[in-house]
Amino acid sequence: MLLYLIRTAGLAFLVAVLLAPGVIRKLHELHFGQRILEDGPTWHKGKQNTPTMGGVIFIAAMGLSTLTCLPLMIADRDFRPLVMLGLSLVFAGVGFVDDWTKIRKKRNQGLTPMQKLLLQIAAAALFLVAMRVMGYLSTDLYLPFVGKTIHLSWYVYLALSIFIIVGADNAVNLTDGIDGLCTTVTLIVAIFFSVVFLRSGNGASIFSLTLAGGLLGFFLFNKHPAKVFMGDTGSLFLGGTVCAMAFAYDMPLILIPVGLVYILEVLSDFIQVGYFKATHGKRFFKMAPIHHHLELCGWSEWKIVIVAGLLTLCLCALSLLA
């Protein structure tokens, strides 16, 4: 069984590696290049027109590999990987529309924040209802490391869970700001969930292992200097995968330790905006989110990725005790 799952992850890696050169070439031909924000770090101007929407590479690799495990899912009567993939694909669809709008209209903004929010809320609600109906989700909220469980009504649990999913999805999206950062952090998170799923015999291990394989293949082309960016198509998809794994584990609050890098990214953005408004124009960070602040402090992109990866690795290892 374990060997079968490892082979499936290997297939996702292989598909991503073989698919990437053709996808990158096609994105170049279609002029699907990234537009760099004017207020970003000046040296990011050199990344202008690097192909974006490359998230389709690991999405295709993961989707294909997951579907090859359909006979196993039928035999085990455990269809969590398909429900989890469904949530991730819906979020990827939102990101695709956003990317497409940016490219076609040649602007940095695609969907309006409200349009994005409503679509994400609808996707999260459908996922949670499906998981609940299929018996894969309780309404008990377990507190990691504390060892206590809070019993909630379904409607309170639903509202809180939608907030967690939408917030986490946008936090992962915000983390995709420098070469390889979001890919590296999410790869480590996927490996963490693979360990806990395999340890507990959870069928969601199919999902997490194929995600890890696809991301590892994509990283070869997304590491600094990146040949392709994942775009909102990829980062919103990854936000969906992270949330799906946490809820398949039936411990959504585990995202706090294992996803601390995502949380720091979004918190730095909130702090910057709040401080700017409160002080009438002063900045708390040199630039937000925090990875740009670190760049302006002299950190290289590689250093930021390595430190974020090591931090995530340590927190994931600690979370195995939760």
pLDDT digits (tens, 9 = 90+) for 78-133: 999 999 999 999 999 999 998 888 777 766 566 788 989 999 999 999 999 999 99
**Mean pLDDT, residues 242-259:** 96
Query: Using CA atoms, how far apart are residues 97 and 15, in angstroms rounded to an integer?
Result: 24
Type of residue numbered 119: L
Q: Which domain holds residue 157?
A: 2-319
pLDDT digits (tens, 9 = 90+) for 60-79: 999 999 999 999 899 889 99
If we measure between CA atoms, which residue out of 37, 34, 30 comes closest to residue 49?
34
The residue that leads in pLDDT, 39 or 279, is 279
Residue 190, exposed/middle/buried by CB under 10 A (0-12, 13-18, 19+)? buried
**Mean pLDDT, residues 289-307:** 95
pLDDT digits (tens, 9 = 90+) for 145-165: 888 999 999 999 999 999 999
Helix (H, G, I), strand (E, B), or coil: what is residue 65?
helix
Q: Looking at the 3D structure of the chain, how many domains does it have?
A: 1
Query: Using CA atoms, how far apart are residues 287 and 270, in angstroms rounded to an integer?
Result: 12
Specify the pLDDT at position 98: 87
H/E run at residue 142: strand 140-143
Type of residue numbered 203: G
Query: Using CA atoms, how far apart are residues 98 and 116, in angstroms rounded to an integer?
Result: 8
Tokens 């309404």 map to which residue?
Answer: 139
Would you place residue 43 in the very low, low, confident or very high pLDDT band (cuts 50, 70, 90)?
low
Mean pLDDT value across the chain: 92
